[in-house]
Amino acid sequence: MKVLVAIKRVIDYNVKIRVKSDQTGVETTNVKMSMNPFDEIAVEEGIRLRESRSAEELIAISIGPKHAQETIRTALAMGADRGIHVETDDEIEPLAVAKILKAVVETENPDLVILGKQAIDDDSNQTGQMLAALMGWPQGTFASELGISDGKANVTREIDGGLETIQINLPAVVTTDLRLNTPRYASLPNIMKAKKKTIDETSPGDLGVDTSARLTTLKVTEPSSREVGVIVEDVAQLVDKLRNEAKVI
């Protein structure tokens, strides 16, 4: 079995987001960038399939500017076998990402594509489902458990109110939720080894994918902030305020 994981370079989740004063977006210069946390879980799951011999090859793909190669190197250092970099400086919407991934899937023929359920920058939560739709494949989204046997995947999904288990035919798309696994850190020897692994370079144009945007971002603004509250002395005062001032209990 061959597994493809799609990874995105995003602003590190610990960075305090600042909206640009001209309202065109958020500040990204001199800001720490990292692999989207859900994609790290996707890479880890791919490596585990590789280690349990369910998969023979694990390929990591990223779409983005030159620096996206660093994110691919991180995946290679964790344990992916080779990388694919689809280079573009444009902002690529989920539908176009799914189209690019489809073009790559059609040449690489993986049995399973694993993606993070959402990127923590645009919070769209769309790409995996869209890729599955374009391929006519089933989808196991928000996975907290994944088992592969007899050409099928058993996926336990995090749904509102609990868990749902479904069985889907392979090839399939799986998107990761938090509890699927805990991603490993790359060891220093593996970081060195990753430098020798191949990253194939291509572009949306080479793949014949039109990435023109369907959404125009008119502006990006700060969310409305809350008024500063008060510090109460003790529990009795707190309950009194909630009863008589806020009147919520």
Partner 1 sequence: MTVLIIAEHDNAALKGATFNTLTAAAELGPVTILVAGSDCASVADEAAKLSGAAKVLLVDDPQYANPLAEVFAPLVVGIAGDYGHILAPATTFGKNLMPRVAAVLDVQQISEITAINDPDTFERPVYAGNAIATVQSSDAIKIITVRATAFEAAVPGDSAVEIENLSASENPGLSEFISTELTKSDRPELTQAQIIISGGRGMQDGENFAMLEKVADILGAAVGASRAAVDSGFVSNDYQVGQTGKIVAPDLYIAVGISGAIQHLAGMKDSKVIVAINKDEEAPIFQVADYGLVADLFKAIPELEAELNK
Within residues 103-122, the interface with partner 1 by CB under 8 A covers 117-118, 120-122
Enumerate residues 14-33 that contact partner 1 by CB under 8 A: 16-17, 19, 26
Q: Is 168 in the site for partner 1 (CB under 8 A)?
A: yes
Which lies closer to partner 1 via its Cβ, residue 61 or residue 180?
Answer: 180
Q: Which of 12, 33, 103, 129 binds partner 1 (CB under 8 A)?
A: 129
137 binds partner 1 (CB under 8 A): yes
Residue 148 pairs in a beta bridge with 153
Q: Which residue has the tokens 């994609």?
A: 39
How many residues does this entry show for the chain?
Answer: 249
Are 102 and 139 within 8 A, CB to CB?
A: no
Vertex 189, ends 34 and 76: CA angle to 5°?
45
Beta bridge partners of 113: 4, 173
Q: How near is the Cβ of 4 to partner 1 at its closest, in Å?
A: 17
- Cβ proximity to partner 1: between 34 and 69 the closer is 34
The encoded tokens of residue 45 equal 């799951």
**Least Å from the CB of residue 3 to partner 1:** 19
CA distances from 217 to 18, 24, 26, 97 (A): 17, 8, 12, 18
Say whether residue 2 binds partner 1 (CB under 8 A): no
Binding residue for partner 1 (CB under 8 A) from 22, 195, 226, 244? 226
